[in-house]
A and B are shown apart, each in its own frame.
Chain A
Amino acid sequence: DGGITQSPKYLFRKEGQNVTLSCEQNLNHDAMYWYRQDPGQGLRLIYYSQIVNDFQKGDIAEGYSVSREKKESFPLTVTSAQKNPTAFYLCASSRVNEQFFGPGTRLTVL
């Protein structure tokens, strides 16, 4: 089955820790994205990548970092500099105008 996988589904972090969220796609899409979603809120773009070894900041990149070493993988690191990281994180890839989303990772800071 083609699609996007995110892991883990739930993640708990202690304050001051960095954590990395995984995103893998087998759709052969060039572009990949990370969004943050807070309760009752819309989708806010963190980072996006249009091609391997290149990525751009979105609207809320502070406290986050990404890498794009392989076409199929776009991991997101939530650093200790992100002061309010508890949220639902969504990874997506796109073909032309359509975005395909993964199932999400719910991150909770303890």
Chain B
Amino acid sequence: QQQVKQSPQSLIVQKGGIPIINCAYENTAFDYFPWYQQFPGKGPALLIAIRPDVSEKKEGRFTISFNKSAKQFSLHIMDSQPGDSATYFCAAPNRDDKIIFGKGTRLHILP
């Protein structure tokens, strides 16, 4: 099965720091790379997504960097806040309507 490998598993950053979460994929046919954010006890929600025809996308304090040749993409959170503490999942949709998720990164922002 095609995989999306996510790292690190957990991350602790001081308020104002820039946490970076990385994902690597195998299938070069993937053409859409979303990130989901999940707060404890809630369902995940789409945070930001990128297509492989661009190398970077910004939405507010969240940025995706995409490296097509390395088959990697990463999430950066600028000026991180305690409210950003959550679990983050990278993902890639497969052809059969399934989405392949990374195993998640538990992010904790210290006040």
What range describes how many residues of B lie at the interface? 20 to 34
Closest to B104 in A: A42
- Measured CB to CB, the closest approach of chain A to B22, in angstroms, equals 15
When distances are taken between beta carbons in the complex, the residues of chain A under 8 Å from B106 are 40
Closest to A91 in B: B43
Assess whether B98 is in contact with A48, with CB atoms less than 8 Å apart. yes
When distances are taken between beta carbons in the complex, the residues of chain B under 8 Å from A31 are 97
Please, what's the 1-or-0 string for B85-97, where 1 marks a CB less than 8 Å from any CB in chain A?
A: 0000100010011
Residues of B participating in the A interface, judged by any CB pair closer than 8 Å: 1, 32, 34, 36, 41-46, 49, 89, 93, 96-99, 101-104, 106
Closest to A35 in B: B101
Closest to A98 in B: B46
Which has the most chain B C-beta neighbours within 10 Å: A50, A59, A97, A104? A97
When distances are taken between beta carbons in the complex, the residues of chain A under 8 Å from B46 are 98-100
Residues of A participating in the B interface, judged by any CB pair closer than 8 Å: 4, 31, 33, 40-43, 45, 48, 50, 58-59, 90, 92, 94, 97-104, 106
Assess whether A94 is in contact with B43, with CB atoms less than 8 Å apart. no
Assess whether A42 is in contact with B43, with CB atoms less than 8 Å apart. no
- A94 and B32 CA atoms in complex are apart in Å by 14
* 6 interchain pairs, CB-CB under 8 A: A4-B43, A43-B104, A50-B97, A97-B32, A99-B44, A104-B42
